[in-house]
Structure 1
Amino acid sequence: MTRLAHCLVAVALAMGISAGTLDQLRAWVAATDLPPLAIDTAVEVLDRNGDLLRAYTVADGRWRMAVTLEGVDRNYVAALIAYEDKRFYDHGGVDLIAMSRAFGQALWNRGVVSGGSTLTMQVARLLEDGSTGTLSGKLRQIRVAWALEARFSKDEILTLYLNRAPFGGNIEGVRAASYAWLGKPPTRLTPAEAALMVALPQSPERRRPDRNPLAANAARDQVLTRVADALGMDQSTLIAAKTESISAQRVDFPAFAPHLADRVLADSPTASRHQLTIDRALQIQIEALAQTTVAPLGDRIQIAVLVGDHQSGEILASVGSAGFQADQRQGFVDMTQALRSPGSTLKPLIYGLAFDQGMAHPETLIADQPVSFDGYAPQNFDGQFRGDVRVRDALQMSLNIPVVSILDAMGPQHLIAGLRRAGVQPEVPGGRAGLAVGLGGVGVTLQDIVQLYAGIANGGEAVDLRWNRDEIDQQSGQTILGNVAAWQVADILLETPRPRGVMGSGVAFKTGTSYGHRDAWAVGFDGRHVVGVWMGRPDGTPVPGAFGGDLAAPVLFATFERLKSRIDPIAPPPPATLLVSNAQLPLPLQRFRPRGQIIAATGGPQIVFPPDGAIIDGTQIIGRISDGHAPFTWLANGAPVATTQTRQLDLTGLGAGFSSLTVIDAQGLNARAVFELR
């Protein structure tokens, strides 16, 4: 016989009714129309470990957060049952013993001394949100309680209580209450905290800790006294629990990564829970760093920081502004997604593409001197010229003239194509890229730049940065650069001069400053992580004297300090990497020749085999060329493999898949073919 059946039989005996009437009573209970059990709960955004980043109120403005029985501390459940309904797991919804005691006490004392409502009856009252002060109201509550017991398990009924109990103001349910009054989830509560959560629903407005902390404290102590045995507390533990202070302030609900949380909600508005790749502890630290960074810089300077794992593609921290608020910094704008000029941050990609195409090597000499490209005359940031410099030094010093010379010879469309292979969608003014794109004349976001550098750090393979924890880790399959070129770029950036007072060894990084000092950038990576920092004014007005190296770079290294205690080393160079001095380079790679010099020469080499676009069976081929002037430098996939006087070369070790062959003759003229081996 079920607990409900026992209860009904007891009622029948007490009332002296017949078995037929008992059957009618059962039918009456079975015919009960239960009020709706479904209830709106807050949309929650969680971090990678399930910790709360941000929650949203339900439609009526209440904080009500879904919780299961497993999601609350066992001390709380034990205290709740011991205080409210000792025989909860034994009765059938109505505790006749408790009701008889309460009735007798009321008669003896001529007033209510204790209640007889069970937890099931309280759930019935919460579901109906009605009065039980009348006889009809109490009977309806009993009927609903019996119906609940007939249709649901005890744990399911208890879960209904955990989600609906009132805790003062617009707080409902123990999970929301624990955040509001204790500042933490209800998974681990001290006995004193558990007792407070038991006490508040009995008189939620009169016992609100923020309005009447004395009443809250007294009610909590009363619960502790009653449930001490159930919680296994001795006298000294009980006394200690009663000394725990109760906060007289309501705690704000977590609101970390608010910009990203809003984007997540907009992308999937029907989901109730979103688990992200964000690391809550790191997010909190970087948000604090952002706030302290801009505090002394006036009320219009803004900052954005993005941290990712370039091996997995997971975004670990996303700070869209120094504060999610309507202020002169326009804190509600997510600056990780805003289109801005990248300044010099695209230079590593330009040089990497040149390395890949056999146009240059880190030790190649390149001229830094006055030059005009059809009327476009770029200048270095300091207005000076340094003559011949190594490509390595040109990138580390972020010189403008050498990189524009490279881009002119390569063609701006190759830079745009490289960005798109990295997963970047650049906004090109007028829709047609000119040489100015190499110095920041294009619109990109901070997330774009971080994604680009993640691909370089990942050996040249594009990385799809993502925030959704449930997405499967999938690489895009796009190759931005060959692994040799990607390593060469990383090796150069490892030696970029650090900001004053910053050591930061082991981090490859680049800074950038857009035209008119509107944007200050710093992007860097080690063997595992990539970090991007943007600083400026959201409205795009200039910040006089602002440079990426001065403003953003210190934040970059401070972020790495908070991210990890030990830098992961960059991977060693691939076997095909040519590690030699300038004098040991093949002659065509010793000095970069601008486009004008190449055009002046005639009779460049032509690749006879393999033809461009060919599909070839086997992994060993013989390359053949015609025309051009010996000696010929042969490069496979961007890496020099031989210098010959002859016009053919046995190419081995390429492996299946796509490969590129570049041949440069003595005059610096070159030919290139891309083919597939099967």
Structure 2
Amino acid sequence: MPLLRKIALSASVAIGLAAVTIFALPALDRAFPPPLPEQLTVSTEVLDRNGALLRAYATPDGYWRLAVDLDAVDPQFVEMLIAYEDKRFFDHNGIDFLALLRAARQFAGNGRIVSGGSTLSMQLARLIEPRESRSLGSKLRQMFRAVQIERRLDKREILERYLTLAPYGGNLEGVRAASLAYFGKEPRRLSVSQTALLVALPQLPERRRPDRNRNAAEAARNRVLNRMVSAGVLSQREAARTQADEVADVRFALPALAAHVADRALRNAPSRHRHQLTLAKRVQEGLEAVARASAAKLGPKISVAMVLADARTGEVLGEVGSADYFDASRSGWIDMTRASRSPGSTLKPFIYGLAIEQGLVAQETLIEDRPADFAGYRPRNFDMGYQGDVSVRQALQLSLNVPAVRLLDAVGPARLTARFRQAGVTPSLPKNEPPGLAIGLGGVGLTLRDLVQLYTGLANGGKASLLRDGTEAAPVGASGGIILDDRATWQVADMLSGVRPPEGAARRGIAYKTGTSYGYRDAWSVGFDGRHVLGVWVGRADSGSVPGLSGYVSAAPVLFEAFAKSGLAIVPLPRAPAGALRTARADLPVTLQRFASGSGELVAVAPTEPAPRIVFPPNGAHVELGAASADASPLVLKLQGGRAPFRWLANGKPLADVVRRRTALWQPDSLGYSTLTVIDAAGRAASVKVFVE
């Protein structure tokens, strides 16, 4: 067999030359230093607060190449890799002469390559300095480089570099990129089947790609499993059981969470390859899933943005700039958390808080919701109707416009904007114009992040926290300021906690406020518990009008679902501080029982609703209730038309407080004829006469 003898002789020559090379190494090392960069060119990574990968970016040459830390790789994988590729890895200095002799002997005996003699150090040398051909000279060069590598790096560093550069098919390099692409997870904990496949792939990565050649990948995996049995790493039973597992023929996209925040991190620090944010991966995944699903339900071109922050620290735990970063139809590349828009009614809580802080009103103070003129400015409610006399609590919960403007007129728009600036938020106002009453209804520019920052004060005893997500070019030095005192803050939170949840949503122990901008362009909802604040924006990125869009209908359901899917436990709202009480109207000082109308003069308008009409009991009806009995049932009174609230009278005597419903209960106190009268908010009355028997 002259050919085989020739090949065996060549192998012996290679071994001899390698031995000579080692003796001449110092001189050769100085003359031909290895191309061993201090830092490998790897993918830029954006990590969450706990080090989990949120998003990765391909290298400039288009590869997914993620840096590897050996402590973050399954130890079983490392054990199987060394047993398969280089079992004396920790004993040699780059060249395993026993492995070379074995390879030469097997080749001579079988006429084909049975096993290679390359060490992991030699394979790393080939990865950092690819050979042009499979010649003897290339092999010698590879050996020489391997010895040089061993002189410069320790075994751990060699393994980490190999596991960063090893090819795994397509544009995947390194065990982390491969594990994420083929299994959808980091290689911290791998199954035996997954481990064997990752060991097998680098030898023939294109032929064995599971997403394209599943059968070849499965066969290669099984060869590794059999070798592990021979090496004593696996039992025969475990290997047989693992071989029954199918290899999945999929390739997952690498993580692309928090795309807008990640892009911002790169812009602010382009030279860094690792960016750690304050975001929590689990929270981010939940918010993004809710944003995508909600936008799909709401309709085409509509986007959703969200910011969830820790009210005490200001750390952003989740931030969604759009419903889908890659959806061009929704302008997904635009970060709507930082777009300045009209906030609608979301600023009203701070108006009420200032009024309470200044002693102008309490929760049960009556305030007028009737048409009014403030020096030419005539605010109207969202539904174009008016409620008449309402409590401050009701006015905020119903988001009535006229009462809010009355209070803002009393506390002063300049004072409100000053508090915003004190909390670290500068609203956008028309150039060279002072703040006016319209800011109370959204006549000002704010971003979603601005709103969340303001609301951190409501969840944090009045002290707002500056938001930060880890992308800041420099550390944040300043802290947030006081936006309201603690008692006013509790009063506002107490009122907002009573707002009815959106249709179909369960109460979650949160306080929240909604808002809708003029022209149905923006829908908002901002909610908080005792620790977290979540803000939601819904609308079109191009500021287009969306008929029917509103904070309560469009944004509030997203808020409640996002709280549920965030994975965060609801923290109870803070207890009332000393001196903060919810006082009944009758117990209030006379000056707080009704708020003075202020400078807003009432405007006479014709009622648009029909006059009230009592439909039950009908006029002249005989009602048998057994009024003289102790357990007599009350009579249900019903009316149609009219404007709430309504005042009922029986024989000229008021039955109870004014009510908003069109039903009431009357308990007759005597037999015979009685006159029932109802008066609506416009002063219109209707009466019926009934006979009780």
TM > 0.5 = yes
Q: Write out per-residue CA displacement over residues 192-242 of structure 1, whole angstroms, 9 at most, x where no aligned residue.
A: 111111111101111112221111111111011102355742222111111
- Aligned mates of 1:350, 1:22 — CA distance in 2: 81
Aligned position for 2:123 = 122
Cα 1:362–1:544 shift into 2, 3 Å: same
**Contact 1:32/1:143 (<8 A) preserved:** no
Aligned position for 1:461 = 463
2:499 to 496, 501, 505: 496
- Aligned mates of 1:162, 1:17 — CA distance in 2: 26
Aligned position for 1:173 = 174
The one-letter amino acid paired with 1:121 is M
- Aligned mates of 1:25, 1:578 — CA distance in 2: 85
1:545 to 534, 543, 548: 548
Cα 1:15–1:525 shift into 2, 3 Å: closer
Q: Write out per-residue CA displacement over residues 573-603 of structure 1, whole angstroms, 9 at most, x where no aligned residue.
A: 11122442223223332222244399xxxxx
Cα 1:22–1:120 shift into 2, 3 Å: closer
**Contact 2:523/2:538 (<8 A) preserved:** yes
Aligned position for 1:584 = 587
Cα 1:165–1:18 shift into 2, 3 Å: closer
1:563 to 562, 566, 576: 566
1:401-480 correspondence runs (5 A): 401-432=402-433, 433-468=435-470, 476-480=479-483
- Aligned mates of 2:253, 2:305 — CA distance in 1: 23
Cα 1:250–1:71 shift into 2, 3 Å: same
Aligned position for 1:370 = 371
- Aligned mates of 1:417, 1:234 — CA distance in 2: 73
1:221-370 correspondence runs (5 A): 221-228=222-229, 230=231, 232-370=233-371
Q: Write out per-residue CA displacement over residues 157-200 of structure 1, whole angstroms, 9 at most, x where no aligned residue.
A: 22221111111111111111111222111111112111111111
Aligned position for 2:599 = 596
1:40-119 correspondence runs (5 A): 40-119=41-120
- Aligned mates of 1:255, 1:231 — CA distance in 2: 40
Cα 1:355–1:112 shift into 2, 3 Å: same
- Aligned mates of 1:540, 1:16 — CA distance in 2: 74
Q: Write out per-residue CA displacement over residues 62-104 of structure 1, whole angstroms, 9 at most, x where no aligned residue.
A: 1110012212111111111111111111122111111112122
Cα 1:503–1:169 shift into 2, 3 Å: closer
Q: Which has the larger radius of gyration?
A: 2
Q: Write out per-residue CA displacement over residues 619-638 of structure 1, whole angstroms, 9 at most, x where no aligned residue.
A: xxxxxxxxxxxxxxxxxxxx
The one-letter amino acid paired with 1:33 is P
- Aligned mates of 1:419, 1:300 — CA distance in 2: 32
Aligned position for 2:661 = none
The one-letter amino acid paired with 1:555 is V
Q: Write out per-residue CA displacement over residues 485-521 of structure 1, whole angstroms, 9 at most, x where no aligned residue.
A: 1001001101112222323152111111111111111
Cα 1:22–1:233 shift into 2, 3 Å: closer
Q: 5+ residue gaps in structure 2?
A: 1-11, 602-693
**Contact 2:363/2:392 (<8 A) preserved:** yes
**Contact 2:307/2:534 (<8 A) preserved:** yes
**Contact 1:168/1:204 (<8 A) preserved:** yes
Cα 1:319–1:147 shift into 2, 3 Å: same
Provide the identity percentage. Answer: 50
Aligned position for 2:515 = 512
Cα 1:590–1:75 shift into 2, 3 Å: same
Q: Write out per-residue CA displacement over residues 132-156 of structure 1, whole angstroms, 9 at most, x where no aligned residue.
A: 5112211111111111222222222
Q: What secondary structure, in the 3-state scheme, does the structure 2 residue paired with 1:499 have?
A: coil
**Contact 1:43/1:57 (<8 A) preserved:** yes
Q: CA deviation at 1:384?
A: 2.0
- Aligned mates of 1:477, 1:208 — CA distance in 2: 53
- Aligned mates of 2:464, 2:534 — CA distance in 1: 16
Give the CA RMSD over aligned residues.
2.5
Cα 1:17–1:299 shift into 2, 3 Å: closer
Q: CA deviation at 1:402?
A: 0.9
Q: What secondary structure, in the 3-state scheme, does the structure 2 residue paired with 1:76 have?
A: helix
Aligned position for 1:486 = 489
Give aligned pairs, total.
587
**Contact 1:306/1:336 (<8 A) preserved:** yes
**Contact 1:362/1:488 (<8 A) preserved:** yes
**Contact 1:366/1:389 (<8 A) preserved:** yes
Q: CA deviation at 1:244?
A: 2.1
Q: What secondary structure, in the 3-state scheme, does the structure 2 residue paired with 1:516 have?
A: coil
1:177-192 correspondence runs (5 A): 177-192=178-193
TM-score (norm 1): 0.82
- Aligned mates of 2:369, 2:19 — CA distance in 1: 108
Cα 1:194–1:511 shift into 2, 3 Å: same
The one-letter amino acid paired with 2:28 is W
Q: CA deviation at 1:44?
A: 0.7
The one-letter amino acid paired with 1:36 is L
Match status 1:529 vs 2:532 = yes
TM-score (norm 2): 0.81
- Aligned mates of 1:14, 1:364 — CA distance in 2: 97
- Aligned mates of 1:174, 1:505 — CA distance in 2: 43
Q: Which moved more, 1:577-586 or 1:409-418?
A: 577-586
Cα 1:193–1:345 shift into 2, 3 Å: same
Aligned position for 1:633 = none
The one-letter amino acid paired with 2:551 is G
Q: What secondary structure, in the 3-state scheme, does the structure 1 residue paired with 2:330 have?
A: coil
Cα 1:375–1:141 shift into 2, 3 Å: same
